[in-house]
Structure 1
Amino acid sequence: MSRKVLITGGTGLIGTRLAEMLIDAGYEVALLSRQPGTSRYRGFRWDPQAGSIDEAAVTYADYIINLAGSSVSDGKWTNERKRDILSSRLAGTELIARELAKGNHHVRAFISASAIGIYGDQDDKVVNEQSPPAANDFLADVCQKWEAAAQSVAQNDIRTAIFRIGIVLSPDGGALVPLARVVKMMAGAPLGTGRQYMSWIHLDDLCRLLIQALEEPKWEGTYNAVSPNPVTNKDFTETLAGVLHRPLVLPKVPEFGLKLMMGEMSEIVLASQRVSAEKVLKQGFEFEYPTLKVALESFYGEEV
């Protein structure tokens, strides 16, 4: 049986690792890219902003995993940056949906990314997939529109699963890199009050979750892609310092200082999101790295 996976956003942090793990699992992988030929995988050209896509891309695929979207943590959220964050997610997802609506393909499942930003700042309240999206919140608005575009694929009788991804932990990119750098310099400190919850997931667990959703027909609808053990920012910082064998010498980094440095983007580190993993656990997914200490040791355990 043909096992061809087409990935959008395949050169990003998640896509890079996911492609490796898919190859290891016996899949063929191709990437949709504005500059195909720059990676070792087969590439199809697309330009979501221009609405153009190689006609052979969707007909190649048995499965599509949609991860495309510019990073929310690169640079301050100017109006232009915010437009890019939204349009880079919407345009690509809508373009794929339009292609799939044409028929004449053999796509068996569409797996799309979203983010736990949809819940906004929820203090210490546990949220799950039934919790309403936050109102008047930029990231929540982006996620709602992104998910609506992905859901339109399901109307074409294609099994669709959407994953609201938490803070992805990897030593190769994402939020962990600057946090670990600061702790290694012995300048680590909780951010803001330190009481805000961080719902995180190890990169490899996330990739295994996406592959399981691709393989098993029972995965359909919306799921939180977070570990079962969210932690406060204070606990996160202390656990990271412990694994890196560094002391925490500074008091908390004050909220106003973060807002001054990061502007609206400070929401990412100051918003509290205590997100439930119960639904993926009930689906039978088993986390390899369910606790933060185990996850961090998998990256930094040798650096003693």
Structure 2
Amino acid sequence: MKQSLRKVLISGGRGLIGMRLSEMLIDAGYEVAHLSRQTSRGHYCSFRWDPATGQIDEGAIAYPDYVVNLAGSSVSEGKWTEERKRDIMASRVGGTNLLARELREKPHHVKAFISASAIGIYGDANGRLLDETTPPAPADDFLADVATQWEQAAHQVAELGIRTVVTRIGIVLSHEGGALPQIARPIKLLAGAALGSGKQYMSWVHIDDLCRLIIQMMEETEWQGTYNAVAPNPVTNQEFTTILADVLHRPLVLPKVPEFGLKLMMGEMSEIVLASQRVSAQKVLQQGFQFEYPLLKPALEALYSDQE
């Protein structure tokens, strides 16, 4: 690859995925810049933007050869008040709309636009196997509505003739943040238990596999359209909890946490842990991607081996 094709702009670059992706891109010889609402700090060049007001630094979209759009307020921090839900939606859809506007109106040399979405688009589907042709859940499912509108915003970029890849991300496994430390905490305190029935499926992906997948989507022109970013072996919540307890060398001593208790504690946000999503990885496998961590136990062991 020519050296001139080595600049990547990441929205949400300071988030969990963005920080790990930035490290892996630097290691692979890329230049990386972040789009951020704060002024620059740390190792990375950054451009300022504010999706809420539609403002963005003049030179931002002229910088990259590739744009990776990860920006979005966390869905798992704090109860879903109406204000919080507006922020979750606006941070994703507003940011993607702003990038689409800049790509439409400003000179640039962007070769590909990789935009995050989430498997929440499928809603609660029990044990049904879900692939990229499965229609989104109805709009009364908040997470499905967010992901649907997020993807529609990204399609504006595809309409400009820019190669666009939408990646529906599953539960990202990292001990640095996200869902895993929250699931592991009660297990470490000997208070771990399956959630709800325990039969709901969890479709997960190790953070390094996700970042490798995003880089492959960037680099290889065959990638276009929508892909599930999940490991090929989803597990039930009961299986996940049991395997994680085994990796952490802790017993599971409590019965399941009942669904009504979770709804009482978490409100509408409980659908994050109660929805069953058994998501297929077949399309990314057929495209030639190879997972380093296709199975849950080795993925968790790799994450916790340095914390023994």
- Tell me which interval the TM-score lies in, with the shorter structure as reference length: over 0.9
> Contact conserved, 1:114 with 1:165, CA < 8 A, in 2?
yes
Deviation at 1:103, TM superposition (A): 4.5
1:106 to 109, 121, 124: 109
**1:5 CA displacement:** 0.1
Which residue, out of 266, 272, 278, partners 1:274? Answer: 278
After TM superposition, give the deviation of residue 55 of structure 1 in Å: 1.5
**Alignment correspondent of 1:30:** 33
List aligned pairs for 1:1-304, cutoff 5 A: 1=2, 2=4, 3-135=6-138, 136-304=140-308
Q: d(CA) in 1 for partners of 2:27 and 2:171?
A: 25
How far apart, CA to CA, are the structure 1 residues paired with 2:265 and 2:169?
25
Give the deviation of 1:302 after TM superposition. 4.7
Q: TM-score, normalised by structure 2?
A: 0.97
SS in 1 for 2:218: helix
Question: Compared with structure 1, are the counterparts of its residues 107 and 302 closer, same or farther at alpha carbon in structure 2 (3 Å cutoff)?
Answer: closer
Contact between 2:293 and 2:299, CA under 8 Å: does it hold in 1? yes
Percent of aligned pairs with the same amino acid? 69
Any gaps of 5 or more consecutive residues in structure 1?
none
Contact 1:196 1:232 survives alignment (8 Å)? yes
Aligned-partner SS, 1:10: coil
Q: Do the aligned residues in 2 keep the contact of 1:187 with 1:250 (CA within 8 Å)?
A: yes
The amino acid of 1:30's aligned partner reads A
SS at 2:62 equivalent: helix
Residue 103 of structure 2 aligns to which amino acid in structure 1?
L
The separation in 1 between residues aligned to 2:198 and 2:277, in whole angstroms, is 13
Contact 2:7 2:64 in 1 (8 A): yes
Partners of 2:155 and 2:69 lie apart in 1 by: 12
Aligned residues: 304
Change in 2 beyond 3 A, CA 1:302/1:23: closer
Aligned equivalents of 1:120, 1:288: Cα separation in 2:
28
1:37-64 Cα shifts (integer Å, max 9, x gaps)? 1231001111110100111001011000
What amino acid does structure 2 have at the position aligned with 1:94? N
Structure 2: how far apart are the matches of 1:218 and 1:184?
43
Q: Normalising by structure 1, what TM-score?
A: 0.99
| Pairwise CA distance, 1:301 | 2.9
Q: Distance in 1 between matches of 2:306 and 2:166?
A: 35
